[in-house]
Chains A and B, each alone.
Chain A
Amino acid sequence: MTALKDLFSSLLDFIQRLGAMGSFLMRILRVLPGSLRRFDMHLRQLWFIGAMSLTIIIISGLFVGLVLGLQFYSALNQFGASGALGTLTALSLYRELSPVVAALLFSGRAGTAITAEIGLMRSTQQIEAMEMMAVDPIRHVVAPRFLAATIALPLLCVVFSALAIMGAHWSAVLWLGLDNGTYWSSMVGSVDLVDDLLAGVFKALVFGVLVALIAAYQGYHAKPTGEGVAYATTRTVIHSAIAILAFDFVLTAFMM
């Protein structure tokens, strides 16, 4: 009986949190067009949020590709189907691995930075100071980071894919001796630009919105203490991971 009640109240909590996030998103979207007039702020954030995440995306993409090349080759070779390696690599990357892995890495690299930065501004009263100077912190602090993260993740996802394709080429073609022409032509034959590649980029766009929203929300509502900010940063990673995987399922189900 109490277990049921607990479940009910935590469900209610969850729905309330969802509602709070929704209205936070509305606040961001309302001020976003106005904030575009200060485009330099957005560029700056795109640099910190996007370009600074490149290193981890490039390295991870390369290694994921190298591993996929090895694994798929040994698995496919058992059926004499190593000719399908390119197809399999490209499809699994474009449709699932790149958007999801890039988003998870991004939440760890850029999401936490957004939360910590906004949380620190909250705890050092910078947010309040802005409000007092008649500047809406949502417009000035949150919106540029939100937009930058939304733009950055699809770009990072594509970079991840490109590096992984090269990584798989490296291990399957250069090391294990798969035919180079087979590798590329098998992709050309069965990977669709819109249904596979761009569909994955669209997923990354959705994940970018999710990570940006969660990270900004956690930072903005962090308890104004060091502990509060640390706690909020952890929550950003956890909530982002759950949201990414859950939305991945929903999007995949809809797009199939």
Chain B
Amino acid sequence: MAANRSFEIGTGLFIVLGFAALLFLATQTTNMAGFRAADTYELKARFTNIGQLKERAPVKLAGVTIGTVRSISLDGTALDAVVHVDVDSQFSELPEDSSLSILTSGLLGDQFLAIRPGGSPEFLVDGDEFLLTESSLQLEELIGKFMVGGDGGGERGN
């Protein structure tokens, strides 16, 4: 049954190849490459407008992804959006006065959160809140500002 054996090996290789391809794609090209609960700590931030920010959007520091958006909710009394983010525990030394802004990758790309580090010797710990935030820049408002000549966009917080 030598022929049978080589069929089995060949078929086995085919299945392994398929799953290897799946593993490659899952870990290199999807959000599975991001972060999972095991080794993260949670921070939160309030925004007056989150724009198109979605759950699982990356959180970047100096362009490097160090975390993801876990959830987005609306605070019913303060009437602003509360964003919870998971940050890799490896980066546990974010200064307390760091700021968080919603940026867009490219002109039309997806939105993500960018951390701008502050200078405080104290660090943010699990459950802390970013005090300085900058909401999403709305394209319509920008255009409106240009057209009306400065002050068409209405008030924006912070």
Our verdict on whether A and B bind, yes or no, reads yes
List residues of chain B with CB within 8 A of the CB of A196: 30
Number of A residues whose C-beta is below 8 Å from B? 39
Query: Interface stretch among A3-11, A30-38, A120-128, A184-192?
Result: A184-192
Is the CB–CB distance between B30 and A47 below 8 Å? no
Secondary structure of the B side of the interface? helix
Given contacts A54-B14, A161-B21, contact A188 B57 (CB under 8 A): no
A165 interface residue, CB < 8 Å from B?
Answer: yes
Instruction: Give A154's nearest chain B residue, CB to CB.
Output: B18
> Which B residues between 33 and 48 are near A, CB-CB below 8 angstroms?
33-34
* Chain B residues with a Cβ closer than 8 Å to the other chain, count: 34
Say yes or no: is A209 at the interface (Cβ < 8 Å to chain B).
no
- Stretch of A17-25, A79-87, A216-224, A225-233 that contacts chain B: A79-87
A43 touches B7 (CB 8 A): yes
Residues in B neighbouring A155, C-beta threshold 8 A: 14-15, 17-19, 21
Given contacts A156-B18, A158-B22, A188-B34, contact A43 B105 (CB under 8 A): no
* CA gap between A184 and B58 in the complex, in Å: 13
Q: Name the segment of B73-81, B84-92, B106-114, B135-143 touching the other chain.
A: B106-114
16 A–B contact pairs at CB < 8 A? A51-B10, A51-B14, A54-B17, A79-B107, A80-B106, A81-B106, A83-B105, A154-B18, A156-B18, A158-B22, A162-B25, A184-B28, A189-B31, A193-B31, A196-B30, A197-B30
Which residues of B pack against A, CB within 8 Å? Answer: 4, 7-8, 10-11, 13-15, 17-19, 21-22, 24-26, 28-34, 56-58, 65, 105-110, 112
Give 14 new A-B contacts, CB below 8 A, not counting A83-B106, A158-B21: A46-B11, A79-B107, A84-B106, A90-B29, A155-B17, A158-B22, A162-B21, A187-B30, A188-B28, A188-B34, A189-B58, A189-B105, A189-B110, A192-B56
